[in-house]
Each structure stands twice: as C-alpha cells, then as structure tokens.
C-alpha cells in the first residue's frame, strides 16, 4: 500500500526529508507521495517515517494503491538494487 497526503497537509516540511525513497515531493499546493516509490518504509524502518513525524496526521494509506507486504518488499528491492538474501544465495551456487 502506498501512502497519500491529504489536503489537511499544512506544508510544514517535516515529511519530505524523512522519506528514504524520495517519494515525497511538493505538489501544486501540498506535498504529494509518488506511489511508485513509496514502500511505507519497508526495508528501511519498521513504520512509515512520514506518518511518525506528521503533526496533523494527514498521511493515510492510499486506497487506490493497495499493495501487499511482499509487493512493498519487491518495490524496495527494485528501488534500492538490493538483492533478496534467498535470491543471492541461489545465484552463488
């Protein structure tokens, strides 16, 4: 599931630097999240960092981009170039 920023955003600038995937950017009026880059911090942190720092709680799950935890891991691998341990072990044989 990718996250989204609602129009309750106050443009406080705290979420953007917390995103390890650089998925958060300034939109026309408020910050937005690129669902192609958002992994909900899977692979980086236990919880989405933008949600943790948001003072107005305006970052819910985007219902139009529902993804499984496995899909988020696959996106993390694609974005970072990290090879999953099981794949790396099989490739070295």
All structural domains of the chain with their residue ranges: 16-91
List the one residue out of 3, 85, 79, 90 whose CA is nearest residue 44: 79
CATH code of domain 16-91: 3.30.70.20
Confidence of residue 90 (pLDDT cuts 50, 70, 90): low
> pTM here?
0.85
Indicate whether 73 pLDDT > 90: yes
Distance (Å, rounded) from C-alpha 39 to C-alpha 87?
A: 20
Question: pLDDT (tens digit, 9 = 90+) per residue, 25-41?
Answer: 999 999 999 999 999 99
pLDDT at position 63, please? 95
């Amino acid at each position: 599931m990718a996250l989204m920023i609602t129009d309750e955003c106050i443009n406080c600038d705290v979420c953007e630097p917390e995103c390890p995937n650089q998925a958060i950017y300034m939109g026309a009026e408020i910050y937005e999240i690129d669902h192609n880059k958002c992994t909900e911090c899977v692979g980086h942190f236990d919880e989405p960092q933008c949600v943790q720092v948001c003072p107005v709680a305006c970052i819910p799950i985007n219902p139009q981009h529902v993804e499984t935890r496995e899909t988020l891991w696959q996106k993390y691998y694609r974005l970072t170039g990290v090879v999953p341990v099981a794949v790396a072990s099989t490739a070295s044989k």
